[in-house]
Amino acid sequence: MSMIKDLHVTRRAVLKGAGALVVTISVPVSAARTPARAKGGAGVKPPLKPDELDSFVKIAEDGRVTAYFGKMDMGQGVDVAIGQIVAEELDVPFERVTVVMGDTAHTVDQGGGSGSTGIQRGGVPLRNAAAEARRILLELAAIRLKTPARYLTVADGVIAVTGEAARKVSYSELIGGHYFNVKLVWNKKMGNRLVSTGKAKPKKPEQYKVVGTSAPRNDIAGKVFGTSDFITDITVPGMLHGRTVRPPKAGAAPVGVDESSIKHIPGARVVHEGDFLGVVATKEWDAVKAAETLKVAWSKVAPPFPDQKDLYDHIRRTPTLKAKLKAKDTGDVDRAFKGAAKIIEAEYEWPFQSHASMGPACAIVEAKDGEATVWTGSQKPHSTAEGVAKILKLKKDQVRGIWVMGPGSYGRNDAGDGAMDAAILSKAVGRPVRIQGMRHEGTGWDPKAPASIHKVRGGFDAEGNVIAYHFHSKAFDRQNVRSRESHPSHTLAGQLTGYALKPRKIFRTPNESYRFPNKRMGWEIIPPLLERASPLRTSHFRDPLGPQVHFASESFIDEMALAVGADPVEFRLKYIKKRIDARVVKAVAEKVGWKPRVGPANKPGGTGTVTGRGIAYAQRNGAVLAIVAEVEVDRKTGRVWPRKFTIAHECGLIVNPDGLRRCIEGNIVMATSRMLWEEVMFDNDRVTSVDWETYPILESMEAPEEIDIVLIDRPNIAPKGAGEPSTRPVAGAIANAFFDATGVRLRRAPYTPERVKAALG
């Protein structure tokens, strides 16, 4: 296992600029420009201030460019796109740019991986800083070449007098290894909303040469040859291995711990703090055995969970904790329903789902001498470091967070919990501690996507026009624990050591542009089943609530179309208000050669395999998606196989088309898995989905045969996120295709073979 030496410098050394990370010594660009900075001999290390150009872009002595990115790539190539954007604005070859991300000592907090905003928001300060750097370099070149900047041309990081190629100076000659010492205008916001702007105007899309090309990822070789490290591969000198011990019944606390029960395991030790219980050992296998062997007496607690079969009834009958009944409200919905010639109504149900990352959480924390370093796979390492600081009672700047690629993350998985576990263990034993969960923790104890029910009503006039629409969700909180682990309250270890739950109490409504004259969308949430350290605590999971609400809303659009004898595509186009949305729907319909139809292709009843086709559409933060699913349903076995998806995808300017295609494929496959397979099971005492047998996900046999992607590039529209949006309409499209194939409307997800068989009766 490789030791990450250069990562393992102490936080203090980094802050003093004396550690291994310091590459070169900064000397003033011009005496006037850099009065103070050169004095202390500070290295070329980003100052970490959002109003400094040097926080985002560095040009080294050899002319290589480093971009310091305060968001994250979780394996979809966001960093490649950021490198393209920086290369574009600076006029250097893409290969010359290195993107540094995920280290709190090197990047300002741009919010980490969050809401598919890596390019949409995260790219903006980088683009502005790179453009500003180019402007400054031109200014410096003008002095050096004694020629006004307007007579200069930039190519490949070399500035030359236009038409006189011999009179030139390179970026590295101008500034290599030095600070720019140039201020940016910063909007005083941190995280996702951080914007910093220079005087330079970024390029216009028609000038783009690097943006819009399919630059390849640079992390793939390391992943297929096994030469790059994952978080699980990091070792730190003196490190012990830790494991947590979770209660057999949710909510139970350890009341008696028999330390002698692990006496025979070399070096094994118990850490018991508050209600947090864990073990450490020198060897990993010994830690695993110790956690399994340790004898613990647990407190008696009332069973916290209802019967699984009553989950949706529980949601229905539980008094509301918070509601926003008219989150969106146009016209007079109540009156319109009263006057309607026809009303239809339906209710849809969606279960708890687990993030279930490919590997359970892993983290290493070294807490010593009033400082700490945390190595984490969390997509929000700045937040992780902040949370670790709080649980260790340190100041934020006393903890350094270093991200290392972990087993995929699509929102708030268990990584943040793991970091807190490791922090408690490290502090207790005074050594660096590496923790890795077991599978039952990764699935059974990670934060869950909330279960929900969605009630939808549609009212029509005598001519069959929709005159009233009401979409209402009742559900568990969208963020019972926050999507960032920046406070112990949002983690298991925090809750077990005395930090009370701080729920966000929020849900969401569908995102579309149907123009119904009287339209209301709202929600209400109910209290969690267990307040403290619940294995069913809810948080963000890829496209939070997108799959569930659009499963309901887009299924119901088809139900309304049928009620008035309309074709699903034609019906959508009749009501979609935004022109671009209509264009996207038309694009997908055209691509599949959609044949207008009213009602399902097949009638209920009968055996054998049937096929069907369904459409769904949605928006997400400016992105617009329309997807057609073609499914095969084996009525005997209940197997639903989406043979083919065709998607039209619009997200503004496309930075990297191939990267975008692969990102969309991943979204669609994962969303298919959630729609067909995924349901967290529980009994009255515990979550019983604890591995891949009890929480199955899609496998190769069930993967589609084809995913056909129509990209709609709009170069003049700023790029929107793409990391999640295409997740959103998949469930609805499958549901509508299933109805087309079978004539049966199934309103409860997931469409597992058993459920399908039961529904087809």
Partner 1 sequence: MAERISLNVNGVSHDLEVDPDMPLLYALRNDLGLSNPHFGCGLAQCGACTVHMNGEAIRSCVTPVSAAKGARITTLAGLGTPEKPHPMQQALIDEQAPQCGYCMNGWIMTAAAFLEKNRRPSDGQIRKALAGLKCRCGTHMGIIRAVKRAAKAMG
| Residues in contact with ligand FES by the rule CB under 6 A | 75, 358, 408
- Smallest distance, ligand FES to C-beta of residue 711, A: 22
Residue 699 binds: one of ligand FES, partner 1, none (C-beta under 5 to 8 A by kind): partner 1
Nearer to partner 1, 241 or 747 (CB): 241
Q: Which amino acid is at 123?
A: G
| Of 38-46, 218-226, 456-464, 626-634: span binding partner 1 (CB under 8 A) | 218-226
Residue closer to ligand FES by CB (options 355, 482) is 355
Give which of ligand FES, partner 1, none residue 658 binds (C-beta under 5 to 8 Å, depending on kind).
partner 1
# residues near partner 1 by CB under 8 A: 58
- Omega prior to 750 cis, within 30 of 0: yes
- The reply on whether position 212 binds partner 1 by CB under 8 A is no
Which of partner 1, ligand FES, none binds 409 (CB below 5-8 Å, type-dependent)? partner 1
608 binds, among partner 1, ligand FES, none (CB under 5 to 8 A by kind): none
Contact letters for partner 1, residues 163-202 (x by CB under 8 A): ----------------------------------------
Shortest distance, position 728 Cβ to partner 1, whole Å:
14
Q: How far is the CB of 341 from partner 1 (least distance, A)?
A: 44
Q: Which is nearer to partner 1, 405 or 562 (CB)?
A: 405
Instruction: Concatenate the DSSP letters of all residues of 72-139 into one string.
Output: --SSS-HHHHHHHHHHHHHT--GGGEEEEESBTTTS----SS-TT-TTTTTHHHHHHHHHHHHHHHHH
Give the CA dihedral 712, 717, 718, 722, nearest 10 degrees. -20
Q: How far apart are CA 7 and CA 18, in angstroms?
A: 14
Residue 483 near residue 539, CB atoms below 8 Å: yes
Write the CB contacts of 207 (distance below 8 Å, at least 6 apart in sequence).
none
Which span sits near partner 1 by CB under 8 A: 180-188, 505-513, 693-701, 746-754?
693-701
For 280-309, the DSSP string reads EESSHHHHHHHHHH-EEEE------S--GG
Which tokens is 610 given?
């049937």
- The answer to whether 693 contacts partner 1 (rule: CB under 8 A) is yes
Pseudo-torsion of CA 287, 289, 294, 300, nearest 10°?
Answer: 100
Query: Which of 273, 632, 691, 708 contacts partner 1 by CB under 8 A?
Result: 691
What value does the CA radius of gyration of the chain take, rounded to a whole number of Å? 28
Q: Which residues contact 29 (CB under 8 A, 6 or more apart)?
A: 140, 174, 175, 178, 179, 180, 181
Task: Name the phi and psi angles at 168, rounded to 5.
Answer: -145, 165
Q: Which of 37, 106, 178, 217 binds partner 1 (CB under 8 A)?
A: 217
Q: Which does 255 bind (CB under 5 to 8 A by kind): partner 1, ligand FES, none?
A: none
- Nearer of residues 76 and 181 to ligand FES, judged by Cβ: 76
> From the centroid of its chain, how far is CA 568?
31
DSSP sequence for 173-227: HHHTTS----B-EE-S--GGG--EE-SSPPPPGGG-SSTTS-PPPSSHHHHHTT-
Provide the token pair at 734.
């499958």
Instruction: Using CB under 8 A, pick the residue from 698, 735, 746, 749 that binds partner 1.
Output: 698
Q: Does 668 bind partner 1 (CB under 8 A)?
A: yes
Which C-beta is closer to ligand FES: that of 27 or that of 358? 358
Q: Which x/- pattern, by CB under 8 A, does the window 399-418 give for partner 1? A: ------xxxxxx--------
Site stretch for partner 1 (CB under 8 A), options 127-135, 155-163, 200-208, 214-222: 214-222
- The span from the first CA to the last CA of the chain, in angstroms, equals 55
> Looking at 230, 318, 563, 578, which residue binds partner 1 (CB under 8 A)?
230
- Judged by CB under 8 A, the stretch of 128-136, 335-343, 598-606, 691-699 that binds partner 1 is 691-699
Name the one range near partner 1 by CB under 8 A: 44-52, 195-203, 249-257, 704-712: 704-712
Is 729 in contact with 667 (CB distance < 8 Å)?
no
**Least distance from C-beta 74 to ligand FES, angstroms?**
9
**Is there binding between residue 619 and partner 1 (CB under 8 A)?**
no
The stretch near partner 1 (CB under 8 A) out of 337-345, 497-505, 611-619, 657-665 is 657-665
Interface with partner 1 (CB under 8 A), residue from 156, 164, 334, 705: 705
135 counts as binding partner 1 under rule CB under 8 A: no
Question: What strands, in cross-sheet order, belong to the sheet with 97-101?
Answer: 57-59, 65-69, 97-101
Closest approach, Cβ 76 to partner 1, in A, equals: 6
CA angle centred on 318, ends 750 and 508, rounded to 5°: 55
Task: Say whether residue 285 binds partner 1 (CB under 8 A).
Answer: yes
Residues 407, 75 contacting (CB under 8 angstroms): no
DSSP-assigned letter for residue 396? G
Cβ proximity to partner 1, 251 vs 732, nearer residue: 732
Point out which span in 39-47, 587-595, 629-637, 664-672 binds partner 1 (CB under 8 A). Answer: 664-672
Residue 665 near partner 1 by CB under 8 A? yes
C-beta of residue 411 within 8 angstroms of C-beta of residue 541:
yes
The residue behind tokens 């090309």 is 213
| Cα–Cα nearest to 243, from 363, 390, 383, 105 | 363
Which among ligand FES, partner 1, none contacts residue 634 (Cβ within 5 to 8 A by kind)?
Answer: none
Which uninterrupted H or E stretch holds 66?
strand 65-69
Q: Which residues bind partner 1 (CB under 8 A)?
A: 1-2, 74-76, 216-217, 219-221, 223-227, 229-230, 232-233, 283-285, 356-360, 405-410, 436, 438-439, 658-659, 662, 665-670, 673, 691-693, 697-701, 703-705, 707
